Amino acid sequence: MQCPGQDSRYWSGDDVFESRCPSCGQPVEFFKDDSRQRCRSCGNQVFNPKMDFGCAAYCPHAAQCLGSLSPELLAAQREMFKDKVAAAMRQYFGKDSRRIHHAEAVAEQAEQIGRKEPGGDMSVIMACAYLHDIGIREAERKFNSSAARYQHSEGPPVARELLNSLRAKPELIDEVCDIIGHHHTPRAEETINFKVLYDADLIVNMAEEYQEKPPTQEQLNRLSALMLTETGKTQAQAALQRFIKVTTENT
User: What CATH number does the domain containing 105 carry?
Assistant: 1.10.3210.10
Does one domain contain both 107 and 218? Answer: yes
Integer-rounded Cα Rg, in Å, for the chain is 24
Please indicate, yes or no, if residue 2 is contained in any of the structural domains: no
Does one domain contain both 62 and 81? Answer: no
Q: DSSP character for 213?
A: S
Does one domain contain both 132 and 195? Answer: yes
Please indicate, yes or no, if residue 154 is contained in any of the structural domains: yes
Q: Residues 150-182: pLDDT tens digits?
A: 999 999 999 999 999 998 999 999 999 999 999
Does one domain contain both 23 and 106? Answer: no
Distance in angstroms (rounded) separating the CA atoms of residues 85 and 64: 23
- Checking if the pLDDT of 145 tops 80, the result is yes
Q: How many domains does the chain have?
A: 2
| C-beta separation of 105 from 186 below 8 A | no
Does one domain contain both 35 and 75? Answer: no
Mean per-residue pLDDT over the chain, rounded: 84
- Please report how many Cα atoms fall inside a 13 Å half-sphere around the Cα of residue 137, on the Cβ side: 14
Does one domain contain both 239 and 161? Answer: yes
- Checking if the pLDDT of 98 tops 50, the result is yes
Element (H, E) at 16: strand 16-20
Q: Residues 176-223: pLDDT tens digits?
A: 999 999 999 999 999 999 999 999 999 999 999 998 888 888 888 888
Does one domain contain both 21 and 76? Answer: no
Does one domain contain both 149 and 106? Answer: yes
Predicted TM-score of the model (pTM): 0.73
Q: Residues 1-36: pLDDT tens digits?
A: 445 445 556 566 677 788 887 667 789 888 766 767
Distance in angstroms (rounded) separating the CA atoms of residues 175 and 179: 6
Over range 69-92, report the average pLDDT: 79
- Checking if the pLDDT of 103 tops 90, the result is yes
Q: Which of 27, 46, 66 is the last residue of a domain?
A: 66
Which range marks the domain in which residue 90 is found? Answer: 71-249
- What DSSP letter does each residue of 19-35 carry, written as one string? EE-TTT--EEEEETT-S
Does one domain contain both 225 and 207? Answer: yes
Q: What is the pLDDT of residue 78?
A: 73
| C-beta separation of 62 from 82 below 8 A | no
